[in-house]
Structure 1
Amino acid sequence: MTSVIGHIAIDAADPLAQAEWWSQVLGWPAGHEDDPDEAWVEPADGSGQGLLFLRVPEPKTVKNRLHLDVRPDDGTDQATELQRLLDLGATAVDLGQGDVTWHVLADPEGNEFCLLRSTPSQIAAELAAEQTA
């Protein structure tokens, strides 16, 4: 037997606002109960882990020890998705990453995440090519 991750919990000053923002980023519905101290986003079809935002009293002060990597969806590309994320309120972050193929961004509360280059279909094609080589 193994464990299954249900949510990735993220500290937040405003859980509802964070859930709404990430809902726009991921296209997942946001949810919450009567408790304003927690909110979440989850895939509507239950196909994966969700993000759970929990209110904490202290502000973010250092780089995250864990971050999300997101990909542009099929039918788009990294440059288009980067502009969409910036338009939603993400900010570019320089952590000294140098010249890399991904973009380091921060959500409205300063939580870092990366926008990768390849779409899911591009990754699947690369994996399939490796298996036949």
Structure 2
Amino acid sequence: MTSRFTELAIDCADPEGLARFWCAVLGYEVLDTDDGLFTIGPQPIPDAQRGPVPPTLTFARVPETKTVKNRLHLDVNPTDRDQADEVRRLLGLGARPADVGQRDASWVVLADPEGNEFCVLASRRP
């Protein structure tokens, strides 16, 4: 038997606000808001279209603030536009440029509204 990656828990100061940001980034929706936790994920998939299910993201309020570079981060790939257009869209949603020491990379490093770094990779459009 093996385990399957089903959920990523993210500590934050504003679970609702960060959940809204990541819903807009990923096209997810809020699935649950139990006890101040906000869980987001893809819209339910009809049984006829079953396949790999992306993990959900759960945002939990914590008192600590982020002070150092993430040890784990998300990579996103635009599906319907090129990388530069997607970076502009994400900046408009509240992301900001981040410097984690990258140099001449093919990806762009941004930070979400709470400073969590993530990468925008080149488009995977056909």
What is aligned with 2:77?
A: 71
1:15/1:39 contact within 8 Å kept: yes
Deviations 1:44-80 (A, max 9, x none): 136210111111111001111000000011x311011
Provide the rounded CA distance (Å) in 2 between the counterparts of 1:102 and 1:13.
27
Question: Which of these two proteins has the greater Rg computed from alpha carbons?
Answer: 1
Cα deviation, residue 34, structure 1: 4.2
- Corresponding residue number in structure 2 for 1:41: 40
2:24 equivalent in structure 1: 24
Which residue in 1 is equivalent to 2:60?
54
Return the offset for 1:2: 0.8
Q: Please provide the CA RMSD for this pair.
A: 1.3
Percentage of pairs with the same residue: 53
Higher helix share: 1
Structure 2 runs not aligned, ≥5 long:
46-52
In the alignment, what sits opposite 1:111? 116
Contact 2:107–2:122 at 8 Å: present in 1 too? yes
Which consecutive segments of 4 or more residues in structure 1 shift more than 3 A?
Answer: none
Aligned to 2:44, the other structure's residue is in SS state coil
Taking structure 1 as the reference length, what is the TM-score of the superposition? 0.84
Q: Report which structure shows greater RCO (CA 8 Å, sep ≥6).
A: 2
User: After the TM superposition, which residues 8-19 of structure 1 pair with which residues of structure 2 at under 5 Å, given as runs?
Assistant: 8-19=8-19
Q: Give, in whole Å, the separation in 2 of the partners of 1:106 and 1:33.
A: 24
* Residue of structure 2 equivalent to 1:125: none
Q: Could you list the runs of 5+ residues in structure 1 that have no partner in the other structure?
A: 123-133
